[in-house]
């Protein structure tokens, strides 16, 4: 099913892709499918997502796995491991 | 019983002493108040600034969830988390955790729990700015290991 997502990027993911957020219309069923779609777009996406073990993902502002389904999701965020505190 | 809990994510500086005093005054009947303040450090020398990016919305939510977990797990009479974002200079407070409880063991444990979770589960990213340029701070494996003790 085609859906439109707000996709957000933070820290070096944002810098590599060159924008903080965008709307993406996709048929992707899971986060991993969405990543594959983005990587196929352009080198800057391919580079940013080259190693997903170095990345974290949040769906509607809650941490999730790359195998998580996107059904019902509005907002997807990609970022490196967090360094707060 | 609901425990007074405050979460603030802000660009503005804060005064840890004034915050501790206000927290103590507002907390319930506590016999122990623990406060922790994290400060921008310049270990290697040459740090000009620390830039902290965050995920507005998720940050507040993630910290509120951590605070709710802490107040459910330990018998607290109050909890406070303040975390700054934006550009900070060495020596400035970045964040503060305060917990109040009837006994010190609970206040210390809850404060450490909140610190450990803030380090690797609250969506903040630090970037160090030096004369040589700017670099993102890498997450430390030991911070991830620290979560396993809870």
* ipTM attached to this prediction: 0.94
Q: Which of B94, B122, B127 sits opposite A82 (nearest CB)?
A: B122
Mean pLDDT score, B99-120: 96
Mean pLDDT score, A51-63: 96
- Indicate the SS3 state at residue B116: helix
Q: Tell me: the pLDDT tens digits for B54-109?
A: 999 999 999 999 999 999 999 999 999 999 999 999 999 999 999 999 999 999 99
Domain B5-149 part of CATH 3.90.1170.40 = yes
In this prediction, residue A51 carries a pLDDT of 94
In this prediction, residue B67 carries a pLDDT of 96
Q: Does B115 touch chain A (CB under 8 A)?
A: yes
Bigger pLDDT: A42 vs B147: A42
Residues of B in contact with A85 (CB under 8 A): 38, 94-95, 115, 118-119, 122, 124, 143
In this prediction, residue B1 carries a pLDDT of 56
- Indicate the SS3 state at residue B136: strand
Distance between CA B63 and CA B107 in Å, rounded? 17
In this prediction, residue B145 carries a pLDDT of 86
Domain regions of chain B by residue span: 5-149
CATH of domain A3-79: 3.10.20.30
Distance between CA B25 and CA A62 in Å, rounded? 34
In this prediction, residue A62 carries a pLDDT of 96
Average pLDDT, chain A: 96
DSSP annotation of B31: S
Nearest CA to B118 out of B101, B143, B93, B89 is that of B143
Q: Tell me: the pLDDT tens digits for B1-35?
A: 578 899 999 999 999 999 999 999 988 788 999 99
Residues of B in contact with A14 (CB under 8 A): 53
Mean pLDDT score, B112-138: 95
CB neighbourhood size of B103 (10 A): 12
Domain regions of chain A by residue span: 3-79
In this prediction, residue B36 carries a pLDDT of 97
Q: Tell me: the pLDDT tens digits for A16-38?
A: 999 999 999 999 999 999 999 99
Test B136 with A85 for CB contact under 8 angstroms: no
Distance between CA B42 and CA B49 in Å, rounded? 9
In this predicted structure, the answer to whether residue B43 has a pLDDT above a threshold of 90 is no
């Amino acid at each position: 099913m085609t859906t439109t997502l707000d996709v957000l990027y933070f820290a070096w993911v944002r810098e590599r892709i060159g924008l903080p957020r965008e709307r993406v219309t996709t048929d992707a069923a899971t986060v991993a499918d969405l990543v594959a779609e983005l990587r196929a777009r352009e080198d800057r996406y391919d580079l940013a997502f080259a190693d997903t073990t170095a990345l974290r993902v949040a769906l509607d502002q809650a941490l999730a796995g790359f195998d998580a389904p996107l059904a019902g999701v509005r907002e997807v965020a990609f970022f490196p491991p967090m360094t707060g505190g | 019983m609901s425990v007074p809990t405050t979460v603030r994510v802000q660009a503005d500086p804060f005064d840890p002493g004034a915050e501790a005093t206000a927290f103590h005054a507002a907390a319930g009947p506590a016999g122990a108040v623990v406060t922790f303040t994290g400060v921008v450090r310049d270990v290697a020398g040459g740090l000009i600034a620390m830039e902290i990016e965050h995920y507005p919305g998720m940050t507040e939510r993630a910290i509120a969830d951590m605070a709710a977990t802490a107040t459910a797990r330990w018998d607290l009479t109050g909890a406070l988390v303040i975390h700054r974002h934006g550009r900070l200079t060495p020596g400035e407070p970045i964040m503060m955790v305060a917990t109040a409880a009837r006994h010190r063991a609970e206040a210390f444990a809850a404060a450490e729990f909140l610190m450990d979770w803030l380090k690797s589960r609250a969506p903040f990213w630090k970037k160090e700015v030096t004369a040589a340029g700017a670099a993102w701070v890498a997450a430390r494996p030991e911070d991830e290991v620290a979560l396993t003790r809870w």
